[in-house]
């Protein structure tokens, strides 16, 4: 019996550890050949012996289980290295079918304390990194579709965050980058749909090395049960979105963790006010908007903080 991703080739960024590693393992388990990307370089183990880079370790784990994988050690936020990553998939497997953008960093600080470098580095890795790989993958799929005269199998799974939905106060750089990724995703979804390509974004909640401080207050189970914050809860959704079965899922935002998937609804217009004349005056806006907001719940903003309370029912 064929596996859902048999014959397909995938790239997973930031896959040396944490969520990306588990996603790469899941895609391989479902039949995909995987290019495992991570920025981490080879190091030394406790005995001083040379150790493999994280990407190489994940690739070795896949091949040891009978799958196909190659490692790419590089920075996806560098335009040229992102091009090399996509080209490695094409040269190794003849094509690219699936792109999972996961690479990221955290530099948490309140907006009044954040440095320029803390802002720039997070925007660079998350948002520019997503764009770089998407750019080269999209060009590949467009060329394939034109050459074949029909749609191709192309899947993009981008990684946003509940920090964007809820407006995380201590993460203005991260929330902004993750919001930008949603905009990139919906734009890409519309641009590439005619070529058979889908683009979706997930908001995963997972305990990883990057988020260990964020979830430090969430106790891990001690009874042998799977941690509700384990990355293994997220990977199956990525595998599904990468598959032919998800051809009808495009431009969507899904929250996933702890045995739960929630589909975020697009923004709706809550109210509309029209000017009495050609344009508004200050007094007219004051008369319309001030009483409207006076009746709204206090401290309610565009952020959807209730998403943080989602859990498996």
> Quick one: tokens of 29?
């388990």
**Integer CA distances (angstroms), 32 to 9, 28, 176, in order:** 5, 5, 32
The sign one gets for the Cα dihedral 54, 60, 65, 68 is positive
Length of the chain (residues): 313
**Helix, strand, coil percent values for the chain (each to nearest 5):** 40, 15, 45
Q: Is 311 a catalytic residue?
A: no
Residue reference for tokens 């990407």: 55
> Quick one: tokens of 266?
């697009």
Cβ 205 vs Cβ 258: under 8 Å: yes
Q: Is 178 a catalytic residue?
A: yes
Question: Which of 160, 161, 168, 243 does the annotation list as catalytic?
Answer: 161
Q: Is 93 a catalytic residue?
A: no
Question: Which of 160, 174, 195, 243 does the annotation list as catalytic?
Answer: 174
**Angle, CA 56 vertex, CA 52 and CA 61 arms, to 5°:** 110
Question: Which of 93, 160, 168, 178 does the annotation list as catalytic?
Answer: 178
Active site positions, annotated: 161, 174, 178
């Amino acid at each position: 019996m064929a596996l859902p991703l048999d014959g397909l080739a995938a790239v997973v960024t930031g896959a040396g550890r944490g969520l990306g590693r588990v996603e790469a393992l899941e895609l391989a388990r479902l039949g995909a050949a995987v290019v495992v990307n991570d920025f981490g370089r080879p190091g030394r183990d406790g005995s001083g012996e040379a150790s493999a880079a994280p990407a190489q370790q994940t690739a070795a784990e896949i091949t040891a289980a009978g799958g196909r994988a190659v490692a790419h050690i590089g920075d996806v936020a560098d335009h040229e290295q992102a091009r090399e990553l996509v080209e490695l998939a094409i040269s190794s497997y003849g094509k690219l079918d699936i792109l999972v953008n996961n690479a990221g960093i955290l530099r948490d600080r309140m907006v009044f304390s954040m440095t320029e470098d803390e802002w720039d580095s997070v925007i660079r890795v998350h948002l520019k990194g997503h764009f770089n790989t998407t750019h080269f993958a999209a060009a590949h799929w467009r060329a394939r579709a034109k050459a074949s005269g029909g749609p191709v199998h192309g899947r993009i799974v981008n990684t946003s965050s509940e920090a964007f939905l809820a407006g995380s106060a201590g993460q203005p750089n991260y929330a902004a980058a993750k919001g930008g990724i949603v905009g990139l995703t919906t734009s890409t979804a519309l641009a590439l749909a005619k070529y058979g390509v889908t683009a979706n974004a997930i908001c995963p909640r997972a305990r990883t090395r990057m988020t260990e401080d964020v979830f430090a207050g969430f106790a891990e189970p001690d009874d042998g049960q799977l941690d509700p914050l384990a990355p293994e809860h997220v990977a199956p959704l990525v595998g599904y979105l990468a598959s032919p079965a998800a051809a009808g899922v495009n431009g969507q935002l899904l929250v996933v963790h702890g045995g739960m998937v929630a589909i975020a609804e697009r923004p709706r217009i809550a109210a509309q006010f029209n000017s009495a004349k050609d344009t508004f005056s200050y007094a007219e806006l004051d008369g319309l908007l001030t009483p409207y907001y006076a009746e709204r719940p206090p401290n309610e903003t565009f952020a959807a903080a209730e998403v943080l309370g989602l859990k498996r029912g």
